[in-house]
Chain A
Amino acid sequence: MQKKIEPFLYLAPALLVFILIFGYPLARLAVMSLQRPSQGQQTFVGLTNYKSIFSDSVFLTAVKNNAMLLICVPIMVVIALILAVFLFERIRGWQFYRTTLFLPYLLPITVVGLVFSYIFQLSGVLNEFLALIGLERLGLDWLGSPRYALYTLMFVVIWKEVGFGVVLFLARLMSVEEELFDAAKIDGANWWQLQWYITVPQLATVIEFFTVVSVITMLSWVFNYVYVMTAGGPGNSTMVTELYIYLTGFRYNQMNIASAVAVLLLLVTGVLIFLELRLRERSELMQVVG
């Protein structure tokens, strides 16, 4: 019995700190999401705040936009995979490309957002360039039109985030045994078959990791892009849940509503991380069994 308790005693100080730092704020957040101010007191209102946000068209737009941003994930995976393979095969100038491809990931999002804001203005660099080469008709109000702003934002997110995937995939490819590729080549596999039957399976766990991290990014880590480039506009067309939380809490002074959205966002992200952990466990188990 004593032996069973002993490890927990050793863990207790760290657990206590963990609970104080993480547990208390999370519990308080959950409680706040169930309250509203009334006559000078916080009053328990059950799920009223949750019902309220689900009937708020701006919140629903934010959720829809987060869902739209998920489209970036497969695009990023495919682009990162292709680029990693090219770099792995050491195409001419691969060292230069390796650096430049990762560079966007190192740049602060604020800087990236500001630069692209100028590029994508109606009278910005991109449209001026299109006019210069006679393609003026292709010039759009990239950030000023509710129809295009979200897609423009998605482009910038992909541009910035894909470098991380390239580095992850490349690192894994470097550790794949050369013999696998050599054996396949001897068996007559062409380039596509090499990628499909060797590269992709070997990268499976890394792809899975990058996918989950990217999904989480699209759901809860795009605030800076939106805040700098569009502030959620035009007309809420690029509103995302993080910005909704910020505006509701700090601009509209509605901390209880903001708490309810934060709880939902945390739950969704938490579920995704849990799924990723389970997937990882399963694949590790299969490797051991295999």
Chain B
Amino acid sequence: MRQKLQPLLHLALLVMLFAGCAAPAAQQTSAPAPAETSPAAEKVKLVVWWWGEQEAPGAQKWMDETIAKYQEANPNVTIEAVLQSTDTLIPAFQAAAAAKEGPDIQYFWGGVWTLESVWSGALIPLDDLIPAEERAHYINNFERAFDGKQYGIGWYLSGNPFVYNPKLFEQAGLSTTDLPDTWDELKAACTKLNEAGIIPIAGGLKDGWFGGWLFSIVGRQPHDSEKAFMEASVGKSKFTDPQFAEWWSRMKELIDAGCWNKDINSLDYQQGQDLFVQGKAAMIFGNDTFLKGWADVIGWDQIGVMPVPKYSSGKLADTYVVTAQGWGITSWSKYPKQAADFLMFMHTPERLNAWFQYTGVFPADDRLDTSLITIPQLKQIFEWDTTRPGPNLENFIPSMLDEQSNFAGAQLLFAGEKTPEELAQMAEEVIAKWREQNPDAVKNFELWLK
């Protein structure tokens, strides 16, 4: 009998998990009353839930060191840092937010990933906790701004260069000085690489994430601003409109030109990227946070970076996709002032420089000592970060659209199961469903859009 009932018990537990984790309705979020200055002797414990070692190896070492230094300077403060996995990062925080117990400081991806927690009342504005002149140094603050307030700060930058292997280019008879600038040139390069027996571009779509990347990197080109996607999300335009639908056709062109690894649908994101590191693929839509790690394996001489070849002339086509991964302070934290102080400590020049030295990733702060950047490829990335930054579009659309349209759609496109037109229609259906199911979120998006 016990065994017989076991599945029901498991199911009931699952059900209870949802009941217990249910986020309360959006609450009025207001700036906290300025925290009383804690007496020096008062013991303060800050809990930090973070993510980042996964995409910026070396982050753990930096975090441990940063905490040790901060605790040394502030003996009354104890900091407990918990590294989250990619899969638990969001669910664990949602459960914590429902219970109003958990971290004082939480790691967030930018844009909607942060603001959803603002809308549910889990985060407080930082305007009164971190001085404006300090915040002015932080890069990409706009991703965490809502209704005139700043709800988080950046930690490090994560951008998407188009990465190529110069040796494989030479092997295929391609120039490494005159790189593909246009879609047609990219397709021509694919042909040459295929003739040389080299996979032109590698990717992995099985876990879905790469579909969202492609949307952000490729889908941006006909547009001038991320606001176009926010407007389409709230129904002011349609994802079936030509400028939104075009990227599906352009992706299809690359598929037809034989640009991709054939097993893209059966590899996950990391396995797809590994094809480049293994020297099997000549190009990838990469992440600049991984560059140092790849260079440690294959050497900088096999890594080149270039802008994504263009097929359209919107303002975003000339931008470099970059987002600031960052932090927020929770509304239930007993020590918001101390939490803000720790965040500012992370942004002290010594810590910024140490971050770059340990990870090879740029901090989201303009006070980095740029003389530390000696690798030409990284210099190039930093120049793009500072002269032509553009938004990561996944941060400005509902996650349902990303998952049910971009993730699933890219898989169906590569499987040959749907046409670009059908996929554009699918995107519109998903966003219509999102609007129907989330009237409150639509209002928040509209407010955000303003």
Which A residues are within 8 Å of any B CB, using their own CB? Answer: 21-22, 25-26, 28-29, 32, 36-42, 52, 55-58, 117, 120-124, 141-146, 209, 212-213, 216-217, 220-221, 230-231, 233-236, 242, 245, 247, 249-259, 262-263, 265-266, 269-270, 273, 276-277
Contacts and interface: CB of A to CB of B under 8 A. Distances in A.
A216 B12 CA distance: 13
Contacts of A117: 206
A66 to B, nearest CB: 13
A209 B5 CA distance: 11
Interface string B1-45: 001110110111011101111111111100000000000000000
A233 B94 contact: no
Contacts of B69: none
Given A55-B433, A57-B429, A216-B11, 12 more contacts: A29-B19, A52-B436, A120-B266, A141-B265, A144-B264, A144-B415, A146-B412, A212-B4, A217-B7, A231-B206, A231-B207, A233-B205
Given A213-B4, A270-B8, A273-B8, A236 B404 contact: yes
A233 B411 contact: yes
Most buried by B among A40, A120, A256, A258: A40
Interface string B257-277: 000001111110000000000
Give 8 nearest A-B pairs by CB, closest first. Answer: A144-B265, A144-B266, A234-B411, A122-B263, A25-B16, A235-B412, A37-B25, A29-B19
Given A251-B403, A266-B12, A145 B4 contact: no
Most buried by B among A22, A145, A253, A266: A253
A273 B9 CA distance: 11
B417 interface: yes
Given A37-B25, A39-B440, A221-B7, A255 B15 contact: no
Contacts of A28: 19, 22
A55 to B, nearest CB: 8
A260 B409 CA distance: 26
Most buried by B among A57, A117, A251: A251
A216 B7 contact: yes
B351 to A, nearest CB: 32
Given A29-B16, A32-B22, A258-B18, A234 B207 contact: no
B205 A234 contact: yes
A67 to B, nearest CB: 17
B208 interface: yes
A256 B266 CA distance: 33
Contacts of B10: 220-221
A56 B20 CA distance: 25
A143 B27 CA distance: 43
Given A41-B25, A234-B206, A254 B439 contact: no
A205 B208 CA distance: 43
A22 B90 CA distance: 25
B133 to A, nearest CB: 33
B26 A37 contact: yes
Contacts of A124: 266
B94 A252 contact: no
B115 to A, nearest CB: 11
Contacts of B20: 25
Contacts of A236: 404, 408
A38 B415 CA distance: 40
Nearest to A168: B3
Given A144-B264, A146-B412, A38 B439 contact: yes
A242 to B, nearest CB: 8
